[in-house]
Amino acid sequence: MGLLDGKVAIITGAASGQGAAEARMFAAEGARVVLADVNPAGAEVAASIGGKGVIFKKLDISQADQWQEVVAGALNAFEKIDVLVNNAALNDNHLPIEETEYEHFEKLIRINMLGTFLGMKTVLPAMRSARSGSIINISSTAALRGMPSIFDYGATKWAIRGMSRHAALDLAKYGIRVNAVFPGIIDTPMMEAVTTPETRAEF
Ligand SMILES: NC(=O)c1ccc[n+]([C@@H]2O[C@H](COP(=O)([O-])OP(=O)(O)OC[C@H]3O[C@@H](n4cnc5c(N)ncnc54)[C@H](O)[C@@H]3O)[C@@H](O)[C@H]2O)c1
């Protein structure tokens, strides 16, 4: 008996790092899993987990039409969606506000914030008709307090924290739970992109 026997989950950002680990763990606990990522290497992760209940869908989370396709594909394959893990995010530079460019700020809002919103919105009809569901939004400890030189990423992670709280209150009446997770430093490709080996060793 797995903890997630019979459940169906969509996990974004599942080509790498924590999303790939979450997909492995969900499958090991008996869930059927849709791995979604803009990086097609997610197909290899899905193949390495194996089984008919594990599929990959290409998804740029900032694109509403792609979300529609992924959710339709999940329903077509598995007939329901019990869990959405909004895990995908971009964190490709660490800068203070005075060095933050408009274009980069907008890019992170589109991916990290809008992408999380679109995920919740698009799974909502299926979860609302089932009167049950669990949405798990991956935020960060950067949304638990202020931090220097991580302005745009930090702002989007605070937005995810806020959206999770507000959505949880809106959706409780349908039996849909919305929670945010606040990871600390995790050794994944994302951390490699924004730290040196020395700082990672210190962390
Ligand atoms: N690693 C850490 O220390 C840390 C700390 C706190 C929070 N987090 C959060 O944990 C989550 C997972 O990060 P990770 O550490 O596994 O990083 P990662 O870089 O290994 O994985 C992120 C994944 O998101 C995907 N992605 C990026 N942009 C996308 C888009 N537009 N559409 C679809 N997929 C996209 C990437 O292709 C990648 O597979 C993220 O939300 C991140 O912000 C990470």
**Ligand 1 within 6 A of 59 CB?**
yes
Task: Give CA separation, 93 vs 7, 90, 149, in Å.
Answer: 36, 9, 9
**Nearest atom, ligand 1, residue 142 CA:** 6
Q: In the CATH hierarchy, which top-level class contains the domain 8-202?
A: alpha beta
**Ligand 1 within 6 A of 137 CB?**
no
Cβ-based burial of 95 (10 A; exposed 0-12, middle 13-18, buried ≥19): middle
Does residue 188 contact residue 18 with C-beta atoms inside 8 Å? yes
Task: Give CA separation, 11 vs 25, 58, 102, 167, 181, in Å.
Answer: 11, 12, 29, 19, 14
**Nearest atom, ligand 1, residue 187 CA:** 1
DSSP state of 99: G
Does residue 117 contact residue 96 with C-beta atoms inside 8 Å? no
pLDDT of residue 74: 98
Catalytic: 153?
yes
At residue 52, what are phi and psi to the nearest 5 degrees?
A: -70, -20
Q: Which of 179, 186, 187, 200 to mutate to test the pocket of ligand 1 (most atoms within 8 A of CB)?
A: 186
Strands (E), 60-122: 83-86
Considering 4, 153, 163, 164, which one is annotated as catalytic?
Answer: 153
pLDDT of residue 193: 87
Q: What are the structural domain ranges in the chain?
A: 8-202
Q: What is the pLDDT of residues 45-68, one digit of tens each?
A: 999 999 999 999 999 999 999 999
Give the residues of the chain that fall short of pLDDT 50.
Answer: none
Contacts of 34 (CB under 8 A, 6+ apart): 8, 9, 10, 11, 55, 56, 57, 70, 73, 74, 77, 78
